[in-house]
Each structure stands twice: as C-alpha cells, then as structure tokens.
C-alpha cells in the first residue's frame, strides 16, 4: 500500500493539508517516498495533566502537535523518526485507559486511545512501519530510551528524600535521567547527556552519582586501552629485508616451495536507595 500511494496526487494533497494546518510554525513534511498513512487524536500524559494531541503516522516518521482548531490549525509540532521508536503497552489507571508508551532516545511519553480497538490499531500500524524501516536500513532496534517524566500530581512529596512537601512556593522539578519528581535540594546537580541535549541537564543527586561513576569507569577503561596501545608500540621492532646476514639461499631453505601465504537488550521503597 505504501508503494502504491508514494507518488500519487492524493498523498501529496493530504501531506500538504497537514503542513497547512501547522502553518509557518511547522517544518515541511513532503519528501520523496513519504506517505501519510493515518491520523487521530490521542490523549498524551503531560507534566501538569493529560491533554489531547493530534498525531499523524507517516511511513517513516510520527508527527504530533497541540490542537488549536481541529482539522484546521495545530502548533507545537514534534517529529519523531520511527527508527528511534519502541512501544510498550501499559496497564489502565483510574484516570486513563488504553495506555501505551512511546519510547525514544530523546523523549519518552505515555498516550491513551479512546478504545481498546483503537489502541491495537495504532500499535499494529506503528510496529509494522518500524519493522519495515529497520529491515530497509539494516539498523538494530533502539536500546537506550529517555525516561518518561512522572506527572506532577503523582506525588505531593519529593520522590528522592521523601521529606520535602511541594507547595506554591516549593516547586517540583524533574530529573532528566530517571524522570522522578524531586525538590530543588535533591536536584542541584547538572550533567551533560549528549543523547538528550548539548547542554548539561538537571539530574537528581542519586542519578548524578551514578552518572559520575559511569563516566569515571569509562575514562579508566580508555586510559587502560591507551596504555596497552603505547606498550604495544614501544615493544614493536620493525623488520627489514636488508638487516639479515643470511644468504638468499639460507632464507629460501626455511620456506617450502608449496607454502600458501594468502587465502582467499520502581517501587517507592527504592526511590531514595
């Protein structure tokens, strides 16, 4: 079906209509071979509260944005390469049903559909597109994913120290490594995570210590490898065809005439552990 629609006028018109809905705030979406396969409204679990978002599924990307006027105007466009996407089905909660998580290396978030059937259809189409892309490019599925942010209303106290209570004056913060809701005292550190941002990001104290230990471990491994290379270079003695005092006849006797030289992949009690 994708190949059949790739160069059709109807596909070009549908993509142009999506571009027009995002207006100047959105990026161009038309590319050779790109096909718009479907669209729909899903509820996205945001930091403050769940909000409806418009989603567009293409054969190579997933696009979503905020709804200003449905079918006419959207903003806050986000484009996710499908090669970077992994899906995880989640259990229902009292507030939201038919949930699943969209996980990527830069951002992970939870969405829910209006019905179980709709969720199955979304997941089925997404997985088919992802499988096709990975087969086409020869890439392996993404193994590292950004942690989803836990909604602000999920807790009234810091999820690290479990002592600080949030209020109008005591703000909630999110650790960019684990996604926990933490207080300012428990998240004073910043750490550079190039996969997420070119700038150092806020992390909780526990994640900071873990990241620092990983960095030191990597640096030590690099140092040992460099030492091994230097030792190998120092112990290497280049050979020369002219430094031997043996005659050509003596050299020839060491090699039989018929020698062949060349052949052709969290509980509360552990929050502050």
Query: Using CA atoms in the order 111, 29, 18, 44, what is the torsion angle rounded to 10 degrees?
Result: 10
114 inside domain: yes
Q: Is residue 108 a contact partner of residue 102, using CB atoms and an 8 Å limit? A: yes
Looking at the fold, whether 12 and 83 belong to one and the same domain comes out as: yes
**Helix spans in 111-177 (H):** 116-137
Q: Is residue 155 part of a domain?
A: yes
One domain, residues 39 and 115: yes
Q: Dihedral sign, CA of 144, 150, 155, 156? A: positive
Say if 117 falls within a structural domain. yes
CATH number of the domain encompassing residue 100: 2.30.29.30
Residue where one domain finishes, among candidates 227, 249, 268? 227
Contact of 44 with 109, CB cutoff 8 Å: yes
> Is 84 part of any domain?
yes
Query: Is the Cβ–Cβ distance between 205 and 187 less than 8 Å?
Result: yes
Rounded to a whole number of angstroms, the CA Rg of the chain reads 28
- Tell me the CATH number at 198: 3.30.40.10
Q: How far apart are CA 48 and CA 246, in angstroms?
A: 84
CA distance 130 to 84: 9
Q: Which domain holds residue 188?
A: 149-227
Look-up: residue for tokens 């990527």?
A: 104
Domain count, the chain: 2
pLDDT of residue 80: 96
* pLDDT value of residue 86: 95
100 and 9, same structural domain? yes
The confidence score (pLDDT) of residue 141 equals: 84
Name the domain boundary from 116, 137, 158.
137
pTM of the shown model: 0.76
Last residue of a domain, one of 112, 137, 162: 137
pLDDT at 146: 92
Count CB neighbours of 141 within 10 A.
Answer: 11
Pick left, alpha or beta for residue 45 (phi over 0 → left; psi -120 to 50 → alpha; otherwise beta): beta
Domain-located, residue 47: yes
Q: Are 29 and 123 contained in the same domain? A: yes
Tell me whether residue 44 is in a domain: yes
Pairing verdict, β 108-112 and 201-203: unpaired
Question: Is residue 246, in this structure, part of any structural domain at all?
Answer: no
What six digits make up the tokens of 250? Answer: 């003596």
Give me the average pLDDT of each 10-residue run along the chain (273 residues).
75 95 94 94 93 97 96 95 95 92 94 96 96 89 88 94 94 95 96 91 96 92 87 68 50 49 44 44
Q: What is the pLDDT of residue 263?
A: 46
């Amino acid at each position: 079906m994708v190949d059949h629609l790739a160069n059709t006028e109807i596909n070009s018109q549908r993509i142009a209509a999506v571009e027009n809905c995002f207006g100047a705030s959105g990026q161009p979406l038309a590319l050779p071979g790109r096909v718009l396969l479907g669209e729909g409204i899903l509820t996205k679990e945001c930091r403050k509260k769940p909000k409806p978002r418009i989603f567009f599924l293409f054969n190579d990307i997933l696009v979503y944005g905020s709804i200003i006027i449905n079918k006419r105007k959207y903003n806050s466009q986000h484009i996710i390469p499908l090669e970077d996407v992994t899906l995880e089905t989640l259990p229902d909660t009292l507030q939201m049903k038919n949930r699943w998580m969209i996980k990527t290396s830069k951002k992970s978030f939870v969405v829910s559909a209006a019905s179980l059937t709709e969720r199955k259809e979304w997941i089925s189409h997404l997985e088919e597109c992802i499988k096709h892309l990975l087969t086409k490019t020869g890439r392996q599925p993404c193994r590292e994913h950004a942690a989803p942010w836990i909604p602000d209303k999920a807790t009234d106290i810091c999820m690290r120290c479990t002592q600080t209570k949030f209020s109008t004056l005591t703000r909630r913060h999110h650790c960019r490594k684990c996604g926990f809701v933490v207080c300012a005292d428990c998240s004073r550190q910043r750490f550079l995570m190039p996969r997420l941002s070119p700038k150092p990001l806020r992390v909780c104290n526990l994640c900071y210590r873990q990241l620092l230990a990983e960095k030191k471990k990597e640096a030590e491994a690099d140092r040992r490898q460099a030492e091994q290379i230097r030792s190998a270079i120092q112990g290497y003695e280049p050979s020369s065809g002219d430094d031997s005092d043996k005659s050509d006849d003596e050299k020839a006797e060491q090699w039989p005439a018929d020698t062949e030289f060349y052949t052709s992949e969290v509980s509360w009690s552990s929050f502050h552990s």
